[in-house]
Amino acid sequence: MIDTQYTKDLLDSIVEGITNVKGEEITILDLREIENAFCQYFVICTGNSNTQVSGIAASIERTVKTEMSERPFHIEGTQNNQWILLDYTNVIVHVFQKEFREYYDIESLWGDAIETRIEMEY
């Protein structure tokens, strides 16, 4: 059984890491009611360049490590910084450049998930 308060705190910490460096279009997909989903949540956001995508991923790592004493189980995509995936086991974070987010359209692929958009004003 995964602690729901821990997961909520992890989600909050991830979102904070994204907003610290002005990540955009933050969406949380709740996958808990989807049969055979391999995690509880996806967090998806957009960066405007390779540099910002890398910076968002680094900010998430730093914020979660500082606040939660956690490191990602696995990271992918740092060689090209077009789409970086950070796997925190029950929460998987996708940091996309805009065109790659539109192309892969994860929100539609997981259309049965409960979607929450985080509105940020910078």
Distant-in-sequence, close-in-space partners of 52: CB < 8 Å, separation ≥ 6: 21, 22, 23
pLDDT of residue 3: 66
Homologous superfamily (CATH) for 2-117: Beta Polymerase, domain 2 (3.30.460.10)
What is the value of pTM for the model shown? 0.94
Q: Which helix (H) or strand (E) holds 44?
A: strand 41-47
Residue 122 has pLDDT above 80, yes or no: no
How do the domains of the chain map onto residue ranges? Answer: 2-117
Please spell the DSSP secondary structure of 6-21, one letter per residue: HHHHHHHHHHHHHHHT
Strand partners, 46: 24, 96
- Residue 56's nearest CA partner among 30, 31, 75 is 75
Q: pLDDT value at position 63? A: 98
CA distance 82 to 13: 22
Region label for 105, one of left (φ > 0), alpha (ψ between -120 and 50) or beta (otherwise): left
Rounded CA-CA distance 50/96 in Å is 9
pLDDT of residue 2: 57
| Token reading at 89 | 């086991």
Name the amino acid, one letter, at 58.
A
Residue 121 pLDDT > 50: yes
pLDDT bucket at 1, cuts 50 / 70 / 90: very low
Average per-residue pLDDT in the chain? Answer: 94
**pLDDT by residue (tens digit) across 52-101?**
999 999 999 999 999 999 999 999 999 999 999 999 999 999 999 999 99
Q: Using the structure block, give the residue that is written with the tokens 């029950």.
A: 90
Give the residue, 36 or 122, on which the prediction is more confident: 36
